[in-house]
Amino acid sequence: MNKTKRPIVIAGNWKMNLDRVQAKKLIEDLKTGLSSPVLLTIIVCPPFTSLETAHQAVQGSQIVIGAQNMDYRDSGAFTGEISPIMLTELKVKYVVIGHSERRQYFGETNTTVNSKIKAALAHNLIPIVCVGETLDERENKLTDAVVSRQVVAATQGLTSSELKKMIFAYEPVWAIGTGKVCEAKEANRVIKIIRNTISNSHNEPGLGDSIPILYGGSVNAKNISEQLAESDIDGSLVGGASLKADEFLSMIEQAQNISKLSAASH
C-alpha cells in the first residue's frame, strides 16, 4: 500500500498544560487559522478537565478530540482513573495509549497497554499507541528489539480488522521534550520495522502497511516536512509545539502541502 492510501494525521498532545479558558482560546485560534478544506486528520488531546470544553470549541471545524490516557476497566474503586465509558460520553474519539511518560512515571507496562487497547476498541475509541526506546537501549543497539517487543505485546490477541482501526506512533524516549529529534531516515527505518512486526506477528503480509504510523519526539515546524517526506511516516504526534497556535498551524499547513503533492504524484 502506498502512502497516499493512508491518512495523514497531525495530533497535538497537550500533556498537563492549559486550563479550560486557555484550551478554548487555543482551539479558537486554530479554527481561525485553518484553511479549508482540511485534507488531514487533526487531533488535539487536552487534559481530562478540558475535554468537554474542547469538544464544544471544535464544533464547526475538522478538529477532533482525543484523550491522553484511560483505564481499561469500565468502572470501580480505582481512585483517580478515567474509564473508556466516561470518554465516549464526552464524545472523545481518540485516546493516546502507552506514551513513554506513562511508562516511565506511572508504571504503564506492555500488558496494561494491551488491555487498554482492547478496552478502547470495545468502546469505539481509536487508540494512538506509542512505542519507542530509551537512550540507553539505543546506545546498546537494542532499538529494533525493544520496539518490536512493544508492538507484539501491544497487539496481542487483536484481529486484523481491529488493527486497521488503530494508529501507532514511534516516539523514541530520548527525543521527547529534549529538543533532540530522531533523524528522518532513521525514524522511517524504525517505522518500517513496526509495520513488518505487525504483519509478521499476525501472519498477514501487508497488514502493517495499512496502518497510519506517526513520528513523535521534539517534532516542530522546522523539522516536520523532512519527517513527512519519508515513505512510511504518516504524520506527527506533537508535544510542546502543539501548544502554540501559529506553530501548530504551520505544521498542519506543511502536512497539507505534502499530502497534496503526494496525491498529485500518484
Would you list the domain boundaries of the chain? 3-264
Find the radius of gyration of the CA atoms of the chain.
Answer: 17
Average confidence (pLDDT) per 10 residues, the chain, 266 residues: 79 98 98 87 98 97 97 98 98 97 94 98 98 94 98 98 98 86 94 98 96 95 96 97 98 91 67
The three-class DSSP label of residue 107 is coil
pLDDT of residue 202: 96
Give pLDDT, residue 132.
97
Which of 55, 99, 137, 230 is flagged as catalytic? Answer: 99
Report field, pTM of the whole predicted structure over 0.85: yes
- Whether 202 sits among the annotated catalytic residues: the reply is no
- Exposed/middle/buried for residue 202 (C-beta within 10 Å: 0-12, 13-18, 19+): middle
Quick one: pLDDT at residue 39? 85
Q: Find residue 64's DSSP bridge partners.
A: 43
Of the chain, the end-to-end C-alpha distance in Å amounts to: 12
Grid coordinates in use for 150?
Answer: 512493544
Predicted pLDDT of residue 9: 97
- Based on the residue annotation, tell me whether 99 is a catalytic residue of this protein: yes
Nearest 5°: phi and psi at 16? Answer: -90, 65
Which residues face 13 on adjacent strands?
A: 45
What pLDDT score was predicted for residue 265?
Answer: 66
CATH for 3-264?
3.20.20.70
Catalytic residue among 108, 137, 171, 230: 171
